[in-house]
Amino acid sequence: MLNKEAKIYIAGHRGLVGSAIVKNLESKGYSNLIYRTHKELDLTDSTKVAEFFEAEKPSYVILAAAKVGGIVANNTYRADFIYENLMIQNNVIHQSYLNGVKKLLFLGSTCIYPKNCPQPMKEDYLLTDTLEYTNEPYAIAKIAGIKMCESYNLQYGTNFISVMPTNLYGPNDNFDLEKSHVLPALIRKMHLGKALENNDWESIITDLNSLPIEGVRGDSSKEDILTILDKYGITMKDDNTVDLEIWGSGNPMREFLWSEDMADACVFLMEQRDFTDCYSNDYKEIRNTHINIGTGIDISIKDLSLLIKQKVNFKGNLYFNTDKPDGTLKKLTDPSKLHGLGWKHTITLETGVQKVYSWYLGKN
């Protein structure tokens, strides 16, 4: 067990992942948590990171900081994604070694697995085939992070653990329709669609003032608001019903994990497990020591859309635009290794969708 007074540095404490981990640690009585905003500490700056570690001397480190984005951003800013993520990882992991950190947890993503990976995805499938092209630079950076932790453990005897969460959702998610992932995007679109069909302009104005879409705010003209909503697939028809466009056929299967469940898994591993628990001694070569964090349960985008429609109470029509790409048809983790280490998720998708929609309403 970790000492409740132990100094724990959480890198990336404001994001979906980091904020959930901070909340979990605080709820369990950890009282010596340290963090820095990007403005206070640029983790790509090796000199600044070295100075920070030398001054603070954290006993434990959780590395949740990363440059992240959707398909378009990953494919457009390929150099930025590989450079910034490699630099963040290199600096934090290396300084953790130099400064005698007792345990580090490195967070990656299941995009590390091959594009045509067998399903469900086991840890042993890492580096067995070609990666998905659009996020290859990001995936390679995360693979390098896994191998860096693994290599430092083997050479220097450090205790660095790598975890690869599936698709996450929850409080502090990204609801920006230009950049958000499918679940938060669908929640926001259906929320706006419901307001539109109910002629509830107060809710629309509040939402857009909180998070403008391409510069369109709540105080923009109704014409501009209707135009931007239509651009993002929320269309008011002549009979005052609302059509909501969803890209693709709705057939792809996706797995979703409540972010606070993920945080609980991370804290469990920090408290209860070590690197030596992450691999079998049956093999001469030690590899694939990372741990999937997921539910092992998936749902089609169509069924996810219907679930969100019910929870939001949107009455309009869902239109699946098959002219748009579906992406990978199935992407499911095998969490057997994590289950074997003693942890399993508790929040169902149905409960989680209701919770995150309630959080979104409260935020606005």
**DSSP of 33-51, one letter per residue?**
EE---TTT--TT-HHHHHH
- Consecutive H or E run containing 292: strand 291-293
Burial status of residue 39 (CB atoms within 10 A of its CB: 0-12, 13-18, 19 or more): exposed
Residue 332 sits at the vertex; the CA angle it makes with 148 and 70, to the nearest 5 degrees, is 70
Amino acid identity, position 13: H
Instruction: List strand residue ranges (DSSP E) for 146-262, in order.
Output: 160-165, 167-169, 234-236, 242-247, 253-254, 256-258
Contact call for residues 148 and 89 (beta carbons, < 8 A): yes
Task: Provide φ and ψ at 28, rounded to 5°.
Answer: -95, 5
How far apart CA 178 and CA 106 sit, in angstroms, is 28
Specify whether 357 is catalytic. no
How far apart CA 139 and CA 168 sit, in angstroms, is 17
The CA–CA distances, whole Å, from 287 to 108, 127, 150, 319, 329 equal 16, 11, 8, 45, 28
Scanning the structure block, which residue is given the tokens 């092992």? Answer: 296
Q: Give CA torsion, residues 56, 59, 63, 65, to 10 deg.
A: -20
Q: Which of 138, 152, 357, 360 is catalytic?
A: 138
How far apart CA 127 and CA 162 sit, in angstroms, is 16
Give the catalytic positions in this structure. 138
